[in-house]
A and B are shown apart, each in its own frame.
Chain A
Amino acid sequence: MARKAMLIDESKCTACRGCQVACKQWNELTGWEYSKTVNTGSYENPPRLTPQTWTRIKFTEYDSRQGFRWLFLKEGCMHCGEAACVDVCPTKALKKQADGRVTVEPDLCNGCGYCSQFCPFGIPKLEVASVITGQAKASKCTFCQDRTDNGLSPSCVKTCPAQALFWGDRDKMIAAGKKRVETLKTRGFAAVNLYGEEVVGGLGRLYVLIEKPETYGLPADPQYPAMAMMWQNVIQPLGKIAIGGTVLGTFVAWLIIRRNIKMEEVE
């Protein structure tokens, strides 16, 4: 199946935050802890992703050569080609779908939170009922699985009035993104770039950025975590061999000693 992707053209985003509302409405997410607006010294709201906020517009205030300006970034799960969250999930609640979407099945989640700690972008959030008992559920953007399963676009894409969001086959999105980058270059955006084509197995969320990724607070070169690789591909298989080998070894040792020892002589 062709890999799907979302293309986000940050040169068009007006920070109306219609996507935030559409996401909450479609996925039935509550206002949660930010139901009361707090002044964080910025126009951005809410101040970060939460278990009930799967996407949000991040505001970066910065001094360009043309003077003060805002950069808008639509945050959310990148649907990585090599998704560490899926690899470390011990319950298979996180799944990589055939078309590349990384989905969450809340009924399977046991709240361990490994996904939240191994994601190179820090995306999955835990709704923690109690730190003591460890009762929790992880959640994140699923590209509106129930919509996209049925051939619709994610609700944020559907709603975006600035037409900054696109949904479709990943190669088409890449081609469109590259074309947009060229256009913007001719209009004088020197630093414009397409983010996510190659990193971490290729992201399912592609950005047209008008400044360098670091200026937006995105990692320039995000990496699949080395610890996840070590843990899943080295330690766990070797551990199984070590434990199995010990059981087998002691059994063989028992067979040998049983033949060599006469119990009557044992004191």
Chain B
Amino acid sequence: MNGQGEEAGHIFQIRWIPKYTFVERLLHWIHTASFIPLVATGLVLYLDTLKPLAQGDAGQWMRLVHRLIAVLFIAEPLVYGILQPRRLWLHIKEFSFEKDDLGWLKNAFSYYVRGKHDAMPPQGRFNTGEKINGMAMIVTWILFVVSGLIMWFGKGLVSAELFRWMVVVHDLTTIAALCMFIVHFYLAVAHPLMWAALVSMRFGVTSATYAAEHHAKWYYGPKRAMELYEAKKRNDSH
């Protein structure tokens, strides 16, 4: 991954192409840097082994830290949306599903788990899995923020019934988001086929060969990508 390698006696060069802008990467890492400590300070209320950290003064600190980081977690997409509403809208559009996504989902298990190089329907800059992750992030962000703010400022102002609902919603959202995070972390850090993903998020670039295989619709454009996909499928079946 240093850009150069030796294969079958000849030198090949990785051609790097830009994938994520600086701001996109910044947002990604702010989100990461807020999400992880938010989960950590929340889990002390959940896991019995961490109970001592939830009690007394330690618990008050946990709650304070949780709130401080929550400000960052809430502010980051809002500031982005205010400064760049058009780009935020484009992201949401990029995360929206199309009918090709079904084909990806059907093959995903055999590709990502069993490592079979079947023809995968061509993908845009975000593949179906990343879209699901992106959409889940938007939905869970909204649920976290609404339920969190009501618990933070609404205690005694809203009805007890609503407050109870918010506690349950915050919990469920945490469970869902944490499961998504675990899969996301695994794919980015440990999955051998996805080596380029972490590079892209760190340095903003990806290898052209990787892009051609994993993000053909973005690399070639939708029409050409479809032609190549059909050709590959025909080849595979012969």
Which A residues are within 8 Å of any B CB, using their own CB?
A: 88, 90-93, 107-114, 116-118, 122, 126, 131-135, 225, 227-228, 230-231, 235-236, 238-240, 242-243, 246-247, 250, 253-254, 256-258, 260-261, 263-264, 266-267
* Interface contact A92-B51, CB-CB below 8 Å: yes
Contact B164 A118, beta carbon cutoff 8 Å: yes
Contact of B54 among A91, A118, A243, A250 (CB under 8 A): A91
**Across the interface, do A108 and B193 meet the contact criterion of CB distance under 8 Å?**
no
- The answer to whether B60 touches A242, judged by C-beta atoms less than 8 angstroms apart, is no
Distance from A166 Cβ to chain B, minimum over Cβ atoms (Å): 31
Interface of B is mostly: helix
Query: How many angstroms between the C-alpha atoms of A152 and B164 in the bound complex?
Result: 37
B106 CB within 8 Å of chain A: no
Q: What are 25 A-B residue pairs whose CB atoms fall within 8 Å in the complex?
A: A93-B55, A109-B59, A110-B56, A110-B62, A110-B63, A111-B59, A113-B155, A116-B155, A118-B160, A133-B63, A133-B64, A134-B67, A134-B152, A227-B161, A227-B165, A246-B183, A247-B182, A257-B112, A257-B113, A257-B192, A258-B192, A260-B114, A264-B7, A266-B195, A267-B213
User: B156-186 CB contact bits vs A (8 Å, 1 = yes)?
Assistant: 1000110111011001101100110011001
Q: How far is the CB of B70 from chain A (nearest CB, A)?
A: 11
Chain A residues closer than 8 Å to B114, beta-carbon distance: 256-257, 260
Q: List residues of chain A with CB within 8 A of the CB of B193.
A: 257, 261, 266
On whether the beta carbons of A257 and B207 are closer than 8 Å, the reply is no
Judge if B226 is at the interface, Cβ distance under 8 Å. no
Contacts of A230 in B (CB 8 A): 168
Known: A91-B56, A135-B60. A117 touches B207 (CB 8 A): no
Residues of chain A within 8 A (CB-CB) of B21 are none
Shortest CB-to-CB span from A261 to chain B, Å, is 4
Judge if B45 is at the interface, Cβ distance under 8 Å.
yes
Interface centre among B45, B60, B161 (most CB of A within 10 A): B60
User: Is the CB–CB distance between A107 and B56 below 8 Å?
Assistant: yes
Q: Does B190 contact A (CB under 8 A)?
A: yes
Interfacial chain B residues near A235, Cβ < 8 Å: 168, 171-172, 175
Nearest CB of chain A from residue B168's CB, rounded to whole Å: 5
A226: nearest chain-B partner, CB-CB = B164
The answer, yes or no, to whether B115 is at the interface (CB within 8 Å) is yes
Minimum C-beta distance from A115 to chain B (A): 11
Contact status A111-B191, CB under 8 Å: no
The complex places the Cα of A142 from the Cα of B61 at a distance, in Å, of 26
Identify the closest chain B residue to A231 (Cβ): B168
Contact A267 B207 (CB under 8 A): yes
- Using CB atoms, name the residue of chain A closest to B163: A117
Give Cα A236 to B174, complex, Å: 11
B210 interfacial by beta-carbon distance below 8 Å: yes
